[in-house]
Amino acid sequence: MSELLQNWLNNEVGLSTNVSNFEKDFSSGYLFGEILHKFWQADFEQFQNKNSHQAKIANFKSLEPILKALGIKFNATLINAVMNGERGAALRLLYQLKMASERSERPVLALQASALEMQASVGWPGASMKVRQARVEKLTRKFELEKHKQEIVAFEMDHIEQAHVEEQRQIHRFSLRERLRQNRAAKDEWEARGHELWQENMKVRMTRENEQMRFSDKVLRTQQEKELTLRRQAAEEVLKGTQDFESGLVTLGLTKTKEDVIPEDSSEEETDSVEKLLAQTSKVASAKELVEALQAKLPTGQELNYEANLFMRKIKESKEAGAIARRERERRRRRVLVEQQREQEMLEENQLEQVLLEKLGRESIEESAISYRSWRVNMFEEVFVRNRQARQQQYIAQKRADKEEAG
């Protein structure tokens, strides 16, 4: 059907513009006026070849009375569909115009009324009924025009409302985008802050580990120094005890001193040493006396017990002092570790509290913004509803007034 209509318009009708796209070419209503001018001698000067909204409305206002006189259904819905370029709307209207052109009916009401009056004056049968009908149509014509006017106004109001709704939709879309951008920025900021805190924590951890290593090295060096001191003291004690033991042997005459050692190279010295040795020997007459003399030089059991107890006491005191020192070092080390752990836990708790407070603050701000936007949208909706109700009441009142005037 579209090809037949296109051939009819381009070849038979001969419009000023070659039709290629029905929806786009006929959306302004100018070509419809040109068709009416060619077939029914409509006033073509009032049509405007423009694509503005006001020009389109004016063109379709001029088309309405002629199309209705031709018996073509023409209302605000069809006007809106043709103006918006909906598919098939212009084709349906063109098809009805083609059918009307083939019937070649002239829909001018004034001509019909004059013809009917002429019939009435001649006295044709049924002329009075037709005259009455023509008068009724003439009286109702202004109501039809007012109806059309109200439909056009309603269409314009609907268009304005749709534009306002679209604007609100764009505002809502922009607010959503802005919210997403703010959330993304907050997330990036939170991640950057977390990375900075992680780096700071790693620095603190490295510092703490270095301090622990230095402390451990210091404790180890102190222990090594103490062990060396204890070994030195033990060595000195052993050396001193050995010297005391040797001096005791010398005192008892069981050994000789270094000065008493006789060199082998000098015979005189050997003689002197022999004499000294003979002088130091006990002069006894029998073996019994020798044993008694040796026993007299040896220390008694009580002295030996005293020296042994004294030596053991020193060893015990040294062990106890070492154990006490170890316990004290262990106690200090545990206390330092506990204090470090407590400080670390307090630091982590403070950081967690700060992060939670920042997050709650951001969420409260976002909730306030969302509540404000939802309240604003609700207020807009209420205003739309009230405006629509007010217009509906105005339409009802106008219709009631028109009915009263007509009655």
What token pair was written down for 377? Answer: 């949208």
22-66 tens-digit pLDDT:
788 778 778 888 877 777 655 667 777 777 888 888 888 887 777
What token pair was written down for 356? Answer: 């939670």
Residue 380 has pLDDT above 80, yes or no: yes
Residue 355 has pLDDT above 80, yes or no: yes
Between 88 and 340, the more confident residue is 340
Report the pLDDT averaged over residues 277-288.
63
Burial class of residue 70 in the structure, from the number of CB atoms within 10 Å of its CB (0-12 exposed, 13-18 middle, 19+ buried): buried
2-22 tens-digit pLDDT:
777 777 777 777 777 777 787
Residue 122 has pLDDT above 50, yes or no: no
Residues sharing a CB contact under 8 Å with residue 13, sequence separation 6 or more, in sequence order? 35, 38
CA distance 282 to 111: 183
CA distance 1 to 171: 43
Among residues 107, 95, 67, the alpha carbon closest in space to that of 3 is found at 95
pTM (global) more than 0.85: no
| pLDDT above 70: percentage of residues in the chain | 80
Residue written as token pair 């959330």: 183
Among residues 68, 145, 142, the alpha carbon closest in space to that of 105 is found at 68
Please calculate the CA angle 31-86-93 and round it to the nearest 5 degrees: 45
Residue 114 has pLDDT above 80, yes or no: no
Between 407 and 306, the more confident residue is 306
Q: How confident is the model at residue 82 (pLDDT cuts 50, 70, 90)?
A: confident
What token pair was written down for 1? Answer: 């059907």
Q: In the chain, where are the structural domains located? A: 2-165
Burial class of residue 39 in the structure, from the number of CB atoms within 10 Å of its CB (0-12 exposed, 13-18 middle, 19+ buried): middle
Burial class of residue 186 in the structure, from the number of CB atoms within 10 Å of its CB (0-12 exposed, 13-18 middle, 19+ buried): middle
Q: Looking at residue 400, what DSSP letter applies?
A: H
Q: Which CATH class is domain 2-165?
A: mainly alpha
